[in-house]
Amino acid sequence: MATAVFFHAHPDDEAIATGGTMVRAAAAGHRVVLVCATDGAVGEVDDGVLAGGETLASRRADELEAAAELLGVDRLEFLGYRDSGMVDTETNSHPESFWQADVDEAAERLAGLLREEGATVLTCYDDHGGYGHPDHIQVHRVGHRAAQLAGVEHLYESTMNRDHLQALMEMAVENGDMPDPPDAADAETFGSPDVDITTAVDVSAVIQTKKAAMAAHGSQIDEQSFFLSMPDEAFAMAFGTEWYIRIGATPADRETELQGLPL
């Protein structure tokens, strides 16, 4: 059995992007480690969600713990940085933010965990963090450097299949479920094109567990959210496959599981 480390930017990213892979890996007997780079303190939260005196960071830590239990996580760790917020916001410049962290210093923190765990698989994000969020881009940089420092055999970039999502959105527009088509310019910066993707993990058999893990992040994903209000069939179409780019591989022969992590 192998040990896989899933490296994410904020609480809730793990459930959305790699939750199904984590569930399947745990069910197959592998050790699943989740590392979250930031505390998620700059996320948006509606009035009345937090209890008196409760901080968003503490709530999101509790939510992450609940989601991790659902996903079969054996070990959960925070890397210790502050949420940097969305691109071009003043919180990007906070000295304790992940965006301001020295890449080598942050990578060594992660590499220490990788060595301790004897990890053979590490996931991070693609080079633009899926949609340009500073913390997601930093996860890419730190993840790549940590894999080098710790000698991790298999490095994967979690991404979204841009072409698959565009096809789903076009279908929704045609069916009248989405009144306005997505902006083409935005689509070109979201996820990765199908031709670049090396790995597609089918998580449809565990889709309800993935959905429950997303729902555990109630401060960020409530029952009326776009994610959770989808009919089950639409949710499965959107989230039933998790997409990766394996470093050193070519997309010619698409994989259906992570190398070193047989499912």
* Sequence ranges of the domains in the chain: 3-246
pLDDT tens-digit profile of 141-168? 999 999 999 999 999 999 999 998 888 8
Q: Tell me, letter by letter, the H, E, C secondary structure of 140-174.
A: HHHHHHHHHHHCCCEEEEEECEHHHHHHHHHHHHH
* Selected residue with higher pLDDT from 169 and 71: 71
Prediction pTM value: 0.94
How confident is the prediction for the chain on average, in pLDDT?
93
- Whether the pLDDT of residue 177 is over 70: the answer is no
pLDDT > 70 in the chain, percent: 94
What value does the mean pLDDT take over residues 136-142? Answer: 98
202-224, pLDDT tens digit by residue? 999 999 999 999 999 999 999 88
Question: For residue 175, what pLDDT is reported?
Answer: 67
CA distance 261 to 149: 21
- Asked if residues 62 and 49 have their Cβ atoms less than 8 Å apart, the reply is no
CATH topology of domain 3-246: Rossmann fold (3.40.50)
Write down the pLDDT at residue 184: 47
